[in-house]
Amino acid sequence: MATPEDRAPEDIAIVAVAQTEAHARYDGPEVVLIMEVVNRLLAEADLERGDVGFTIAGSCDYLGGMPFAFVSNVDGMGAWPPVYESHLEMDGAWALFEAWLRLQMGDIDVAMVVGSGKSSPCNAREVFHLQADPYVVAPLGLDPDAMAGIQARALIDAGRATEADIADVVVRSRAAAMTNPNAQVAGEVSVDSLLAAPYDMAPLRAHDVSPKADGAAGVLLARRDRARELTDTPVWITGLDHRIESHHAGLRDLTDSASTRLAATGAGVAAGPIDVAELHVTHAHEEIILRDALGLDETTVVNPSGGPLAGDPVMATGLTRIIEVARRIAGGDADRGVGHAASGAALQQNLLCVMEGGG
């Protein structure tokens, strides 16, 4: 475990986190969800918006069917006073990656990151098949849920999991979510009762797929000296890596996550014990693949928030994984952990953020 003296001036910490609840349907503007998060972040760090040197948002215009929605979303980030700002058509976890890179330039010391989405106006399955190859896959409408069904089948056929193992992921997620005030789905269920439900994308059932939600999440990042001014409990980002696999599913081994293994090496996951891991599991079987690829054993608490299976505010879900780990480190419940974000079908893209406390 690193000591405070080990931190270099260019080290970057999370100094504040905020998230809305996962609304099954939020009727107001997405901007207000963002505003709620931004105002809470600034209040927690006792900052004005003008103290932030860079803002970045992750969202998806397709979800609300509104071209350039990301521009009006700047209203929530705070367009005044002027600031260097950026946007990614990706989950907020990737926005955090860009902000982390931006801070390393050294000319600014505080950055704000938000991920937000309102997926309730559409059927997200009818949007995200567009992430697939536009010539040979997307016109089939082969969406992430269908691709997850294929991946789960491959996992079962390979003898790596049973339908009961997959249901067990749901049981644990819903039980863990009972202490998460932002969760959408929580409660005690049994493997047997889940297995009695009909198939949706066989071998997956409806409860194996994350419930889509409207919501937003955000973090404030700061360089070392500023971070220590802003909080007594900075959460240091000690490793951040993102890897992508081929969009040609036939070239991938769907029973493994090669990109997660590479990202884990790059981010230094194995350099110390992982007390807590929050994994971007939008289909229950993915937890089994990710635990294996990350080399996690029973000493790691996985998805203590319930994870995305308890609430999936699309475009904020990956960033929320990082937030849930950071909150536990700042609160003293964990010393070191990893937040994981995924994008694309069948875990095509994986991002890992390793965090430590220690002042």
List of residues contacting other proteins (CB under 8 A): 27-29, 31-32, 35-36, 38-39, 49, 62, 64-67, 72, 75-76, 78-80, 120-123, 125-127, 129-130, 134-143, 146-154, 157, 198-204, 246, 248-251, 254
CA angle 306, 154, 278 (to 5 degrees): 20
Cis peptide before 203 (omega within 30 of 0): yes
CB of 96 to other proteins, least distance (A): 21
Query: Taking the CB of residue 8, how many other CB atoms lie within 10 A of it?
Result: 8
Q: Give the Cβ contact number of residue 309 at 10 Å.
A: 28
To other proteins, the closest distance from the beta carbon of 206 in angstroms equals 9
List all residues 6 or more positions away from 196 whose beta carbon is below 8 Å from its beta carbon. Answer: none
Q: With respect to other proteins, which residue has the nearer C-beta, 229 or 292?
A: 292
Cis peptide before 81 (omega within 30 of 0): yes
Smaller CB distance to other proteins: residue 87 or 328?
87
When the beta carbons of 148 and 296 are compared against other proteins, the nearer one is: 148
Please state the closest distance from residue 59 (CB atom) to other proteins, in A: 15
Residue 187: left if φ>0, alpha if ψ -120 to 50, beta else—which one?
Answer: left
Contact of 281 with 307, CB cutoff 8 Å: yes
Nearer to other proteins among residue 35 and residue 293 (C-beta):
35
Q: Which is nearer to other proteins, 141 or 273 (CB)?
A: 141
Please state the closest distance from residue 244 (CB atom) to other proteins, in A: 13
Cβ distance to other proteins smaller for residue 151 or 300: 151
- 314 closest CA partner among 173, 116, 180, 49: 116
CA distance 281 to 116: 18
In the bound complex, what is the minimum distance in angstroms from residue 42's beta carbon to other proteins? 9
Asked if residues 351 and 230 have their Cβ atoms less than 8 Å apart, the reply is no
Residue with Cβ nearer other proteins (58 or 149): 149
CA angle (124, 197, 21) in 5-degree steps: 45
CB of 130 to other proteins, least distance (A): 6
Q: Is 314 helix (H, G, I), strand (E, B) or coil?
A: coil
**283 in Cβ contact with 209 (< 8 Å):** yes
Residue 180 or 259 with smaller CB distance to other proteins: 259
User: Could you check whether the bond before residue 139 is cis, i.e. omega within 30 degrees of 0?
Assistant: no
Helices of type H across 104-143: 125-128
Nearest distance, CB of residue 116 and other proteins, angstroms: 14
By beta-carbon proximity to other proteins, the closer residue of 164 and 206 is 206
Min separation Cβ 247 and other proteins, Å: 11
Residue 264: CB minimum distance to other proteins, A: 22
Q: Are 122 and 65 in contact (CB under 8 A)?
A: yes
- Strands 312-313 and 212-223, by their bridges, are parallel
Structure tokens at 244: 């992508």
Residues 312, 315, 318, 320, Cα dihedral to 10°: -70
